[in-house]
Structure 1
Amino acid sequence: MRKVISFGIPCYNSAGDMDRCITSILEGSGYAGDIEIIIVDDGSKDETPAKADEWEARYPGIIRAVHQENGGHGIAVLSGLREARGTYYKVVDSDDWLDGQALSTMLSILRGFVQRDTRVDLFISNYVYEKVHEGKHTAISYRSALPRKKVFTWDQIGRFRPDQNLLMHSLCYRTDVLREANLPLPAHTFYVDNIYAYVPLPLCKSLYYADIDLYRYFIGREGQSVNEATMVKRLDQQFRITRIMMGAYHLFDEVESRRLQNYMMGYFTMMMTICSVFTKLSDDPAMPGKLKDLWAELRTFDERMYRHARWGLLGIGTNLPTKVGDKVTIAGYHLASRIFKFN
């Protein structure tokens, strides 16, 4: 049977989480034969490999297990993409899950596109921060920024608020678009989802937004990659991802749509802001020099992008001089964290 969508599930030591993730897709799809779930075991040391094989044996034709040496999240995403047979491809991390009713709605829409031979390069939906340990959840929607119930182009998008960036959780690409993007996802590096949510965008010529709370993003676990202490420890990796995104485009020269230019510039500015803020949170004396080098590289690479990122409100506010400036920046970051609830 022709596959409408492939769900790639990167798994590393995921034995305790993967069952909920996989079950949510199976139940939400009604065990449909036109979907596939690709479990990518990224060199796990626990029961993940055995569980992946068990799932494949239980649902042949729907679930496939892929085993590889440990390469990190990005390499697992690429492995799933390589194996995908669906018209569309969506990544679901093994400790997250999908809402059943929303998934059913998404599948109906995607099947309609395929049946009518309507090309849609990017399907966008909402996601929900699930703070399970606190019993709280926060939905991130795009209804104020994107048209609904129609196929549209980047020239028809509105303005995105700071909490409305299109993250991996909200995106479902056409598989051929992702392959054409030749995603530069480095091995053994966290935060590659930012590259995934940035580099393919100019290749997407037609878009559709469904105002459904599909992706449930588990957040708040100790040691999670977006945990503040963990991000400080992995700041070098954040710099690495930001450099890759920097080099992907001269935004104002290579991206045709002005509205997409503005969106991507805002996203990239956010990445530079994160580097600036977490440099101030770090005790590593080498980090301020590394941040200075990063800004210098951006200025050399593209003066216009540099001016937008460095001398906009966020760039100024997160690069204030003196120790007092550091305290103001950190206080502003913590206030934003409480308002937007992003970690």
Structure 2
Amino acid sequence: MDVLLTVVVPVYAVEGYLYQCLESIRAGLTAEENAQVEVIAVDDASPDSCGLMLDGYATRHGDLRVVHLTSNVGLGLARNAGLVEARGKYVWFVDSDDWLPSGSIRAVLDKLRETEPDVLLIDHLRVHENGRLQTDASSPMLRGTVTLDRLLAVQHTAWNRIMRRDFLTKHDLRFPAGWYEDVPFSNPVLLAAERVEVLDRVCYHYRVGRFGAITATRSERHFEAFEQWDRLYAWLDATGVDQALRIRLFTLMISHLLVVAGNDSRVHPRRRRQFFRRIAGLYRRHRPEGYQPPVGTPGIKHRLVAINSYAMYSALRTGYRVAGLRRRSTERTPVVSQDLPSAPQRVQTTSLR
């Protein structure tokens, strides 16, 4: 039986999470379904015991292919290494510190067979270290009347989209090196696709706040986001993307970079001014004709970027943080215990043509 889906799992320093991830991929599959799925784990020269764990898992189960890289290349290039080895018609990049809720692979296989899209988007839940589940702010974009404009606002990650492998080859879509590698990959994936389908079902549990994760690590490497957005704009220029979509992407870019700038877990306060200045430079370089800032507080921040006023941005940020602390101190928040769901409830689907 031909392989329908290849799951590529890049692995680096995730000893405590690796087995949960691997076990979740094939859990509950029938023999026929199992034969349609291959799993490729890429050991990105992990400094811990992950390489040995992968080899042991492959020996015990016989349904895991392991690729060992001789040097650490980073998440994006490790995904590329797995893609080279893939045999499936579709490929799904699953991060090794995350996991799939029960029934996810079966639901994805069914949708792929039914619709044969270039790209299939799935929903996810954010899972905090204390077990709290949180719906992503962009998840509503997967429901209702689905348009490309709305889908571009869905979190731009690799793991929430399953892609036809020959589609990636046709458009030469690969991950670049560096942090924020999803930016110049995940957006072109949607823009180049002729057929995008949506599976309105939680098929992924995304672990947030994990110690050692990029999004929870204060580092100078967050400045690499600017190079990645420039890469995306080079692709947009080369392919001649519609002006309305360029405006949409520009708005999303500035909003994304402002989120990074305001996150103390990523950008050191002493480096925030420089980060803001870089956002302003990107704003001037890529601002499309016809762009209007969004409404409300986000629009105020966009306008401050436009005039490169870090002093006013800093004062606004401080004011909102103080107000938020005061509000939380006067509120009594009930503690709600919530177990991880074994099977998400939403199963509606929609498509973009």
Query: Once the two structures are superposed, what CA deviation does each residue of 1:279-321 show, in whole Å capped at 9, x if it has no partner?
Result: 9953446x64565355435534x44179557998141256773
1:299 counterpart letter in structure 2: R
Contact 1:6 1:88 in 2 (8 A): yes
Q: 2:126 aligned with 1:137, yes or no?
A: no
| Counterpart residue identity of residue 173, structure 1 | M
Question: Aligned residue for 1:20?
Answer: 20
Deviations 1:19-49 (A, max 9, x none): 1101000114346111011100001122211
Shift of 1:120: 0.7
Q: CA deviation at 1:218?
A: 0.9
Letter in 2 for 1:44: S
Contact 2:127/2:134 (CA < 8 Å) preserved in 1?
Answer: yes
Aligned partners of 1:226 and 1:290: how far apart in 2?
Answer: 16
Gap runs ≥5 in structure 1: 114-118, 339-343
The answer to whether the Cα contact below 8 Å between 2:8 and 2:94 also exists between their aligned partners in 1 is yes
Change (3 A) 1:126 1:100: same
Could you tell me which residue of structure 2 aligns to residue 81 of structure 1?
A: 83
1:116 — aligned with what? Answer: none
Equivalent residues, number = 316
For residue 106 of structure 1, give the secondary structure of its aligned residue in structure 2: helix
Give the structure-1-normalised TM-score: 0.77
State the secondary structure of the residue aligned to 2:159.
helix
Partner residue, 1:191: 180
Q: Is the 8 A contact 1:9 1:38 kept in 2?
A: yes
Map of 1:341 onto structure 2: none
- Cα distance in 1, alignment partners of residues 142 and 222 from structure 2: 32
**Quick check: 2:76–2:176 contact (8 Å CA) kept in 1?**
yes
Alpha-carbon separation, structure 2, partners of 1:29 and 1:293: 48
8 Å contact kept, 1:277–1:318? no
1:268 matched residue in structure 2: 253
Q: Distance in 1 between matches of 2:254 and 2:289?
A: 9
Unmatched segments (≥5 aa) in structure 2: 329-353
Residue 301 (structure 2) pairs with residue 299 (structure 1): no
| Contact 1:21–1:95 (Cα < 8 Å) also in 2 | yes
Instruction: Confirm whether residue 239 of structure 1 aligns to residue 236 of structure 2.
Output: no
1:295·1:306 contact (CA, 8 Å) conserved in 2? no
Aligned to 1:65: 66
Q: Is the contact between residue 21 and residue 100 of structure 2 (CA under 8 Å) also seen in structure 1?
A: yes
The 8 Å contact of residues 5 and 38 in structure 2, kept in 1 or not, is answered as: yes
For 1:8 and 1:261, the matched residues in 2 are separated by: 31
Contact 1:56 1:64 in 2 (8 A): yes
| Residue from 187, 190, 197 that aligns with 1:201 | 190
In structure 2, distance between residues paired with 1:173 and 1:79 = 16
CA distance in 1, matches of 2:152, 2:78: 31
Aligned partners of 1:282 and 1:78: how far apart in 2? 31
Q: Which amino acid aligns with 2:172?
A: N
Structure-2 separation of matches of 1:306 and 1:290:
26
- Give how far 1:222 is off: 2.5
Q: Tell me the CA shift for residue 198 of structure 1.
A: 1.5
Q: 1:37 aligns with which of 27, 39, 43?
A: 39
Contact 2:127 2:205 in 1 (8 A): yes
CA contact (8 A) 2:218 2:267 kept: no
* Compared CA separation, residues 224 and 55, structure 1 to 2 (3 A): same
TM-score, normalised relative to structure 2: 0.75
